[in-house]
Amino acid sequence: MLYGKRIRLRGNERSDLPKFVEWLNDPEVRRYLSMSMPISQATEEQWFEKMLKRPPEEQMLGIEIKDGEGWRLIGNSDIFEINWRVRSAEVGLFIGDKSCWNKGYGTEVMRLLLCHGFGTLNLNRIFLRVDPENLGGIHAYEKAGFVQEARLREADFREGKYSDYLIMSVLRSEWTPEK
C-alpha cells in the first residue's frame, strides 16, 4: 500500500466492483472520464480480469480515506502506458464518492502517484489528459505540480460535441518530494 497524509492507495479487489459500477453509472461522476456509456456488473468484471493481466506497476489502485478505525473506498487511480525506454507514463484518477469532492483528495492522490512514479518506478515524465472544462481537476493537478504543455483540439466526442483535451505533465527535474 502507498500511504499519504489522509489517504492510502491499495490494490483493487473483486469486492470493490459493485461500488465502481454504482459510481461509473452516475453521469456526474462519469462526466470527465474517458467513458460515455453506463456499465454493467458483467462489464466491470471483464475489466477487472483484464486489469489483473497488466504488469503489477500498471494495475489500478483503489483510493481510500481514513474512516473511524478503518478505511473507506472513495475512488480509483493508476499509472499506465509506462514506456520504460523513455521512462514516461500516464496517470489518472477519479473520486467516485461525491461527498469527498473538493476536499483536496485529488491533489493528495496525484502527489502520492508522483512520489511512487519518480521515487519507486524511476520515471522521468508523468503526464495526464484532462478536459479543459474540468476546472476542479486542473486545479488539483496544478497544486500537485503539473503544468499544461499541450492542447489536443477536438480529441474527444461526448454529449453531442467535440471537446479538447489538455496535456499536463511533471518532469522529475521539476518534482519536489513532500516532507
pLDDT tens, residue by residue, 105-121: 999 999 999 999 999 99
pTM: 0.92
- Residue 119 falls within a domain, yes or no? yes
For residue 138, is it within any domain?
Answer: no
Please, which pLDDT band fits residue 158 given cuts at 50, 70 and 90? confident
Q: Is residue 30 part of a domain?
A: yes
Question: What pLDDT, on a 0 to 100 scale, did the predictor assign at position 31?
Answer: 86
Q: Which long-range contacts (CB under 8 A, 24 or more apart) does 30-38 make?
A: 31/134, 32/130, 32/131, 32/133, 32/134, 32/137, 33/94, 34/129, 34/156, 36/158, 36/159
Look at 37 and 9; give whichever has higher pLDDT: 9
In sequence order, the β-bridge partners of residue 161 are 158
Q: Which domain holds residue 117?
A: 2-123
Give residue 120's pLDDT. 95
Number of domains the chain is built from: 1
Is 113 inside any structural domain?
yes
Q: What is the mean pLDDT of the chain?
A: 94
CATH of the domain at 63: 3.40.630.30
Average the pLDDT over each of 21-30, 31-40, 72-81 and give the range with the smallest value. 31-40
Say if residue 47's pLDDT is above 70.
yes
Q: Is residue 165 part of a domain?
A: no
pLDDT at 8 over 80: yes
Q: Is 69 within a domain? A: yes
Question: What's the rounded Cα separation, in Å, for the pair 65 and 177?
Answer: 21
Give a yes or no: residue 41 inside a domain: yes
Q: Which residues contact 99 (CB under 8 A, 6 or more apart)?
A: none
Asked, for residue 173, whether it belongs to a domain, the answer is: no
**pLDDT above 80 for 179:** no
